[in-house]
Structure 1
Amino acid sequence: MFLIIIVALVIAAMARLAVTQNATTSLAIQQARAYQAARAGIEYGIVRVLGANPNTCDEDFELDTFTVEMTCTETVTPIEEEGRSSVRFFEITAQAEHGQPGNPDYAYREITSVVERP
């Protein structure tokens, strides 16, 4: 009887460990997908900034199951270099989110990049 109880406890512990490991792996995959979605937002923002109309970078879009929010902030820095009077910098921030905070499969990533526009 003692041996049966010990074996049952070991099986229960192994089952709990397997469930925890599966949840951890699933969350790691969602976090990696959130990072890639935010990175796609940054790349899209860079294309928008370097395009014909750089002031239209603030945008939200859906990418698979992720909501990606992009914001751009322009900074003009005066310089005295080779005849140029100023340099324009754009700070692009992309936030990718999946699910609601508190859910087991919630994933969120935020990436910021700075681009110089001549």
Structure 2
Amino acid sequence: MRPDPHFLRGGQGGFGLVAAMFVIIVVAGAVAAMARMSETQNATSRMAIQQARAYQAARAGIEWGIHRALAGESCSDTFTLEGFAVAVQCDTGAAVSLPEEGRSPRFVSLRASAQYASPGSPDHVYRQLSAVVEKDD
């Protein structure tokens, strides 16, 4: 009489396959989570760089406006700088009389904003800076 082949294997048939599938699924989930984390970190880094660029574009607008205001030229304008829409506005106040110093300076208020992409876009960044300069007449 021959031994029964099912009896020799015991009740362990197929358990290795279930364990291997479990390990594969867990490893695949970990790889997917790491890929998603990497993508999020890249997007955050890109936005931080764009925000820094927007700040520098607004700062360039302020410096341009200060130069124009001190030269006695119009300093309200809009222009494009490396993909950023920069808007500069300036308001000249009334002259302030300083009799003890013998002069009448004016204060020029400047505001520059830099914007990349349209509001609601995932790439949208916006920065606004303001400054006040004293101009002698």
- 2:81 aligned with 1:68: no
More contact order relative to length (CA 8 Å, sep ≥ 6): 1
Higher strand content, 1 or 2: 1
Give 2:48's match in structure 1, choosing from 28, 39, 42: 28
Counterparts of 1:78-93 in structure 2, within 5 Å, are 78-84=97-103, 86-93=104-111
Q: Which residue of 2 aligns with 1:40?
A: 60
Q: Quick one: distance in 1 between partners of 2:97 and 2:22?
A: 81
Count of residues paired in the alignment: 115
The runs of 5 or more residues in structure 2 that have no matched partner are 1-20
The runs of 5 or more residues in structure 1 that have no matched partner are none
In angstroms, what is the RMSD of aligned CA positions?
1.1
Higher helix content, 1 or 2: 2
The 3-state SS of whatever aligns with 1:108 is: strand
TM-score, length-scaled by structure 1: 0.92
Q: Which amino acid counterpart does residue 96 of structure 1 have in structure 2?
A: A
Higher Rg: 2
Q: Which residue of 1 aligns with 2:113?
A: 95
TM-score, length-scaled by structure 2: 0.79
Q: Quick one: distance in 2 between partners of 1:98 and 1:81?
A: 47
Q: Which runs of 4+ in 1 moved over 2 A?
A: 76-81
